[in-house]
Homo-oligomer: A and B are copies of this chain.
């Protein structure tokens, strides 16, 4: 390895993309990737608490592994050069390999063979004008003279002013000595700022569980800071249905849920602005995506009709709302763009994901799936897109599973069964206290493979690893003496059943979309798995249990938070925003419960495939 020459800057080459970053000494690899426009995953916001920014050193010298890295990686992995990008600082010029899982939006690149970067063409642009001051012989109103200056500069033909600016316009124009920077949204002035102020935008992915926010420089399209938070509505219901019930049945329920969300977003804004050294009044535009229920609760829309058949949205077209009407801490004249949703359970977050993955543009046969309590799937064949929503349930989030838990330290996330030995890996390498979605999926796949369960999910009582409790079969993954809480961590027949229901729902959805499109599973060229959960699961396990069809491994792509990436695309590029609006209308929604033969398809999908062993 080259020795540390102690230069002021280092060159970081990012493979396999081949992008190059020049960084200051002391910066870490995550910052290097961000400065080069490479969207490295960073679910925890760069504090070493997750492993989403995993990279591998190819050449050069890095700082010593931190305690977080030593806890996360095995000695073999550290030897092989695996590191967390947020923790590792170059000590020389380095070459880094980024595994596909660590990129949030590389798959569009792979799908289309072109740059994932979007040319910045934001909805709001900056214009600087010099406005003649009022004078005894020039008595035009403050707004009229501003409009006239815009017209004279050829920047607008019929300018208008956002009503939220009315209360301060005269003071601001005088404070800026009649030479302000105007933020123009089309021909509407949405902010009057000091000359030279950068215009910022806000992109948010409102997940049912987690929120992810991005603060973006609109002129360059560059992300200045990111922040994540838990969805505060969890306190009012873990899933969408219980929140709808709260919203509609409690006094002021809708308002409470809306206010909590707005408060959480304002906290995100504050955090991101502090990190970027910016002020909230610089935020002149926002794009916020979420599933249809999150969207409705945030916009203050009725949700009762989302909670009862036939489950229609109140609104499916895009909304352009006043940020200040919603209570968001932005420039007073900022709009919030809420992209179109497709159906009551296929929301704007799915639209954003489709946009980011390039699905609507591809001429290939591609399927994109976002797994959650509700799983949304879109299949595109020859440019025709069909979508559905599957009630996959909360099993993958650890609910209804005996020892289930969310992906948190101590959760078993990987399971391997070799002969009579069960190997597990927990998040944070902590003693096991439960099992999260990817772990239970692995467990079921391995149990099948090992012959512990059969096609119907029934335990083979004769298997050496199967034990009995109260006459029921079970598989102990971690015995009490090795667990974190002194009790066995185990899998029951009931747990297997929950996974059968979940994977069966997803597979039935896939099969029906294939049938609607008239193709077979083997014809899928790109199988895109989006979302946080989809990023962590083992594709092999998903295929093994029959949740996904048995395609060659290289056709699968795990793309991380593509919804957030899509929201940023729509923020940075008005053409992309309009494109999303257009294709959202063209997606054909298939209501599974009304589809002939759905029950049969679902029942069949409950079975596991024949084990290959």
Residues of A within 8 A of B (CB): 134-137, 139-144, 161, 163, 166-171, 174, 254, 299-302, 304-305, 309-317, 319, 321-322, 325, 341, 343-344, 589, 591, 593-594
Contact = CB atoms under 8 A, between A and B. Distances in A.
A161 B343 CA distance: 19
Contacts of A171: 302, 304
A136 B310 contact: yes
How many chain copies? 2
B136 A313 contact: no
B170 A314 contact: yes
Contacts of A301: 166-167, 169-170
A316 B136 CA distance: 16
A254 B166 CA distance: 13
A322 B325 CA distance: 11
Contacts of A321: 163
A298 to B, nearest CB: 11
Given A134-B312, A141-B315, A171-B302, 7 more contacts: A141-B314, A141-B341, A144-B316, A163-B319, A163-B321, A168-B302, A171-B304
A312 B343 contact: no
Contacts of A134: 305, 310, 312
A320 to B, nearest CB: 8
A139 B593 CA distance: 12
Contacts of A310: 134-136, 139
A322 B324 CA distance: 14
Contacts of A311: 139
B302 A139 contact: no
A141 B302 CA distance: 12
A345 to B, nearest CB: 10
Contacts of A135: 310
A350 to B, nearest CB: 15
Contacts of A317: 141, 143-144
24 contacts: A134-B312, A136-B309, A136-B310, A136-B591, A137-B594, A139-B310, A139-B311, A139-B312, A139-B344, A139-B591, A141-B315, A141-B316, A142-B305, A142-B313, A144-B315, A163-B319, A163-B321, A166-B300, A167-B300, A168-B302, A169-B302, A169-B314, A170-B302, A325-B325
A311 B140 CA distance: 10
A490 to B, nearest CB: 41
A143 B316 contact: yes
A31 B309 CA distance: 53
Contacts of A167: 254, 300-302
A367 B251 CA distance: 60
Contacts of A315: 141-144, 161, 166, 169
B143 A322 contact: no
A219 to B, nearest CB: 29
Contacts of A305: 134, 142, 170, 174
A147 to B, nearest CB: 8
A159 to B, nearest CB: 10
A171 B171 CA distance: 43
Contacts of A589: 139
Nearest to A305: B170
A341 to B, nearest CB: 8
Contacts of A304: 170-171
A309 B142 CA distance: 13
B302 A163 contact: no
Contacts of A168: 302
Nearest to A324: B325
| Among all A-B residue pairs, the 7 with the closest Cβ atoms | A170-B302, A141-B316, A141-B313, A134-B312, A170-B314, A143-B315, A136-B594
Contacts of A313: 141-142
A254 B309 CA distance: 50
A157 to B, nearest CB: 15
A311 B139 CA distance: 8
A402 to B, nearest CB: 36
Contacts of A593: 136
Nearest to A147: B317
Name which of A137, A141, A169, A170 has the most chain B CB atoms within 10 A of its CB: A141
Nearest to A292: B141
Nearest to A593: B136
A373 to B, nearest CB: 20
A598 B592 CA distance: 82
Nearest to A174: B305
A300 to B, nearest CB: 5
A589 B139 CA distance: 9
Contacts of A316: 140-141, 143-144
A389 to B, nearest CB: 11
Nearest to A144: B316
Contacts of A341: 141
Contacts of A142: 305, 312-315
A166 B144 CA distance: 33
Nearest to A322: B163
Nearest to A302: B170
Name which of A170, A174, A301, A322 has the most chain B CB atoms within 10 A of its CB: A170
